[in-house]
Amino acid sequence: MYTELNGKLAVVTGAGGSLGAAVARRLHQDGVRLALLDRSEEPLQKLNAEIGGIYKMVDLTDNLAVEAAVVSIVESLGGIDILVNVAGAFVFSGPVPAMNPIDLDLMLNVNVKTAFLLSAAVAKRMVTLGKSGRIINVGARAGLTGVANMAAYSASKAAVLNLTEAMAAELRDSNITVNAVLPSTIDTPANRKSMPDADPSKWVTSESIADVIAFLASDSARDISGALLPVYGKS
């Protein structure tokens, strides 16, 4: 538990998914006030009923919608202390010569553009208010090295890692840290279904990743910025 997080305000994107919900629950344990963002209402409603906070359905690839959501959160709850960019997606795009360009557009929009738009909107408010802040992105091990048949996903996650490092350099003098966690395969119902022959005991759990994110949001990580932290489990 990080008692210094009590009362701080965090925005969690992709909060309707397995990892986003785990992050929200972990921060809630530390007394963090939450603004939960996703495109789908039903999972947000269930999570909101469980841990409270507020939730908003937002197209996170739409700049105007993102800006409006951030303005609304700040006006109703005050300055944002923590942003966790969890929203993302995955596709096996196949060999590059046969790859559908739609898959590349999807990966860049959902994995990169969402993190870019939210980070820009939130960082602007953090700097204006002159307060310290934490921005935490969810990258992937596949972003470190290109993976066969996953070029679109690997490229998008590589962009997230470079975005993380660039923003860390830009915001270091504003007391805003920017870091990323790099999971391997996450143990989720969807991944178990899509890979029935794999051994999920070697995967990393959403709760474990959420613990690392909570650490990065805490004062214990105040001097860490630009880090790309591997969270691989046993794989």
Residues catalogued as catalytic: 153
User: What ranges make up the beta strands (E) of the chain?
Assistant: 9-13, 33-38, 54-57, 82-85, 133-138, 176-183, 228-231
Convert 189-221 into a string of H (helix), E (strand) and C (coil).
HHHHHHCCCCCHHHCECHHHHHHHHHHHHCHHH
226: its two tokens: 């630009």
CA angle (183, 47, 233) in 5-degree steps: 20
Q: How far apart are CA 220 and CA 225, in angstroms?
A: 12
Q: How far apart are CA 70 and CA 166, in angstroms?
A: 22
**Helix spans in 9-62 (H):** 18-29, 41-51
Contact 80, 74 (CB under 8 A): yes
- Other beta carbons less than 10 A from residue 108's beta carbon: 16
